Structure 1
Amino acid sequence: MKKLALPALLALALAACSSTGPETTGASVEDRGAGVATVTAPGAAGSGIAALTDPNNILSKRNVFFDFDSFVIKPEARPLIEAHARFLVQNPQMKMLVQGNTDERGSREYNLALGQKRADVVKQALMLLGAREAQIESVSLGEEKPRCDDRTEACYAQNRRGEMLYSGEF
């Protein structure tokens, strides 16, 4: 019964987070790439912490990418969010910061609001899967932390993301 309850709760949360506008596509999952900081946590299991920096482990992936003007999480992001939620549940001393980011299009105020919605939806999904609210903080960086500075759609897509960072990485 528990195996059915978790996916049902996540599906309900994801459905509740969908927008009613014309945008019906959601986020995809991509690799965080190079530059992952070493994470240390007092009292945490060594193998669990090592998984955060192992490029072969899903926990090393930290970004949920969003479509233009959207904060909807797509089903393909589910395994990534589930893995990070499990890690937080198994390591209650760990803290996470979810940073919501946008591309440069739109006003500064709009981008800050959209970035916050992206960070909040990732936080909400993690909490629905068992992570505690006290473990996760969500903030918006708007357009202030781009991964790419080119003015192309491919570059804009890299900047529209919710980035999950653990203690020691922020």
Structure 2
Amino acid sequence: MKVSAQNKVFAMLLSFGLVAGCSSTGETMDDGSYGSDVAAIDQEGGSTVYGGAEGDGVSSSSLSDEERQEARAQAEQEALRNITTFYFDFDTSEIKQDARDVLVAHARYLASNPRQQVRLEGHADERGSKEYNLALGERRANAVERFLVVNGASRGQIETVSYGEEKPVVRGSSESAWAQNRRVELIFQ
């Protein structure tokens, strides 16, 4: 499904406007109104994000249902792409089921942005030898790479590296620490 540039720009403006509206302080102004540039609901039941002193803005009531669904889907994909760390069970490189939708979102993003590069950093917990953990981190990074490629990313966009147990995110010898260290991180460049 191809999305026109106009629809992409509109969805981005809508997203930015909603973020700006959510970041208001809620302090009241001298005239008793709230200090926000977003009207929550207009008379037709849609929201309007105002973009300037002229009072022009983007109104969701002027969107068709299809455009609203497309904007929602794009926002969901963008939110999924904010997740860049994927965890693994002990001594395995199998991608967990709950990570698959997020990785599909990353693969679609890479497919639609062929110049975007990503480095996959594989990690392991401290148990096992250094050599074994380096190999395990590499297997994990390679598993994520294969998944991204199968779902549309180009192999040329992806670099894999294994740090094994060398870069723990949490120090300690508990199951909680180990679970957080068994991971692959996506680093977009």
Same fold per superposition (TM over 0.5):
yes
Structure 2: 5+ residue runs without aligned partners?
2-8, 17-77
Residues in 2 aligned to 1:141 and 1:74: alpha-carbon distance in whole angstroms: 20
- Structure having greater relative contact order (Cα 8 Å, sep ≥ 6): 1
Moved segments of 4+, more than 4 Å: none
% same residue: 44
Structure 1: 5+ residue runs without aligned partners?
3-44, 51-55
What secondary structure is seen at the aligned counterpart in 1 of 2:81?
helix
What secondary structure is seen at the aligned counterpart in 2 of 1:93?
coil
Residues in 2 aligned to 1:151 and 1:78: alpha-carbon distance in whole angstroms: 28
1:8-31 deviation digits (Å, cap 9, x = unpaired) = xxxxxxxxxxxxxxxxxxxxxxxx
Residues in 2 aligned to 1:107 and 1:126: alpha-carbon distance in whole angstroms: 29
Residue type matched to 1:116 in 2? E
Residues in 1 aligned to 2:147 and 2:182: alpha-carbon distance in whole angstroms: 18
Of structures 1 and 2, the larger Rg is shown by 2
Shift of 1:150: 1.6
Shift of 1:77: 1.1
2:87–2:96 contact (8 Å) kept in structure 1: no
Residue type matched to 2:94 in 1? V
1:50-89 deviation digits (Å, cap 9, x = unpaired) = 9xxxxx8111111110001010012211111100001101
Q: How many residues align?
A: 117
Map 1:8-157 to 2 at 5 A.
Answer: 57-157=79-179
Shift of 1:114: 0.3
TM-score computed with the length of structure 1 as normaliser: 0.65
Provide the aligned C-alpha RMSD in A: 2.1
What secondary structure is seen at the aligned counterpart in 2 of 1:122?
helix
